Amino acid sequence: MPVKLPVLSLPKLSVSNKPASQTAINKLDHIIVVIADSVKPKLWKDLPYGSALKQMYEKADKKNPALALSSHLPNRGLTGVSLGVVQKNRSAFKNLTQMRHLCSNALAAKAENIGLFVLGFSHDTHKQLCEDLVAAAYAASFKLWHAKSKTNKSKIKSLALYQAPEGLDVNSIKAEAAGNNLARWLTALPPNVLNSRNYVELTEALAKRKRWQFRFHSIMDLKKLGAEAFLAVAQGNPHEDAGIVHLSYTPSGRSPDEPADLALVGKGICFDTGGTNLKPANYMLGMQGDMGGSATALGSLYALSQLKSDLRIDCWLAITENHIDAHAYKPNDVVTASNGTSIEVIHSDAEGRMALADTLAMCSKTKPKLILDYATLTGAAVYSVTTRYSCVFTNRPQLHNLLVEHGAKTGERVWPFPQDEDYDTNLESKVADTLQCSTKPGGDHILAARFLNKFVDNRCAWVHMDLSASENEGGLAHIPSKQTGFGVRYTTRLIEQSDIMNRLK
Ligand code: BES
Ligand code: ZN
Ligand code: ZN
């Protein structure tokens, strides 16, 4: 059964630079108040229900404020209140986390029409916190796929932001939220719903809707290209429906035939059983999320295309499943990828790097200026930074500072790992150009990135993100679900708001 695209429209947001009237507040089921840890007394006088809110505020411990306090207003409808005190100079991550708690408070109170107030800050902080709060409210309002016959959860219908600052960038928040929601929705789908066939069809339907060019390299095409690394993984799937999706976004005034400025590449393993080297039960559970990298690439393309980016952007998705099967690939198989590099297979569970090898090689041939790839590639990445951070690797180490600082700024935190050439001695094979992975434990996230590097043209700047934070129990930063869609916000802002593209010139 094919899957229908999710509804990506967001709840209505009204933005006013004026304060709310008492009558306007009375019509809301809930207000979220984000307030500085020290405010002028005048603030309360000018605020409807100021004395009730002041009482609540005074109870808060300003040195160690709770992320969210709950109460209600003394009006007829007992409008709910979630109040959060924000200390100065806190990290973006902490601010976003607080916004998540405030929004989940409002949702727990079944609020449908919510007022948003950010009070007592300087202009820049005010703007930042308004953006964070709206982003969190959009994330909270989105419902992931489920097959429950009964649900009683409410849904946010409208958001109203009062006293909004000048220059609030609502468009970016909307685009990122929709891209993130898409990524999370895909990642949460069960593996029998989002199998390779359905995933490819979904991307085709999305491409049609967004007017992206859609190309599909089927198993047959990949055989002709000699993409044996990808095919090795796909050969365990009795349905020949795996393949590499190639989407292209071309801004107006540019030619679709120009090389892309940016290529987004993603690992799309719809389910990772481990293959011949079968995963034990508790490691296999949840492996429908192993397409999270492709979801991040697609969500980022979606957001950048919503923002009408002036870059030519390609998106390459390596879509397959890693099955157990009599025909499945196995240790000691030797295959040759489409760039001529031969690989000795060591472990069928290291399938992500195999599928990405050919995808990166094909992408590299088109000579984009910058390649960003995303993959839930290694358990080693999770061991090294847990699921709170993702790991980054690049063939342009001068970008390390920018990458880390950008993570701290956006609240999607990343940490870099080395990519020195001598690591390749750990991947030496007696019979092929390279081992797929080392036979010894240790540093597999670093070696996996070194392996991928063999399929990237060094003339292209390349950043690989091992998405350890693709899933984090209980949510992460402003995102309330286990599936975090990590990377969409990071990427959209990296491309639209940082100077990375200029640095590569
Ligand atoms: N998809 C997994 C890695 C993974 C597991 C990421 C759990 C996030 C959460 C990947 O395909 C895998 O199984 N890697 C192996 C590689 C090893 C056999 C060299 C691993 O990390 O154990
Ligand atoms: Zn695996
Ligand atoms: Zn995997």
pTM, two decimals, is 0.98
Catalytic sites, residue numbers? 279, 353
Please tell me the distance between residue 378's alpha carbon and the centre of ligand 3 in angstroms.
7
Pocket mutation for ligand 1, best pick of 377, 390, 426, 435 (most atoms within 8 Å of C-beta): 377
Per-residue pLDDT tens listing for the chain (505 residues): 789 999 999 999 999 999 999 999 999 999 999 999 999 999 999 999 999 999 999 999 888 999 999 999 999 999 999 999 999 999 999 999 999 999 999 999 999 999 999 999 999 999 999 999 999 999 999 999 999 998 866 789 999 999 999 999 999 999 999 999 999 999 999 999 999 999 999 999 999 999 999 999 999 999 999 999 999 999 999 899 999 999 999 999 999 999 999 999 999 999 999 999 999 999 999 999 999 999 999 999 999 999 999 999 999 999 999 999 999 999 999 999 999 999 999 999 999 999 999 999 999 999 999 999 999 999 999 999 999 999 999 999 999 999 999 999 999 999 999 999 999 999 999 999 999 999 999 999 999 999 999 999 999 999 999 999 999 999 999 999 999 999 999 999 999 999 999 999 7
CA angle 362, 461, 503 (to 5 degrees): 145
Q: Which residues surround ligand 3, an ion (CB under 5 A)?
A: 269, 272, 290, 352
As given in the structure block, the two tokens for residue 193 are 């719903």
Longest dimension (CA), the chain: 79
CA angle 259, 253, 247 (to 5 degrees): 45
Quick one: which atom of ligand 1 is closest to the CA of 376? 6
Closest CA to 465 of 398, 409, 412: 412
* Cα 294 from Cα 187, distance rounded (Å): 9
Please tell me the distance between residue 164's alpha carbon and the centre of ligand 2 in angstroms.
47
With a 6 A CB cut-off, is 443 part of the ligand 1 pocket? no
For residue 18, the Cα-to-chain-centroid distance in whole angstroms is 34
What φ, ψ does residue 356 adopt, rounded to 5°? -75, -25
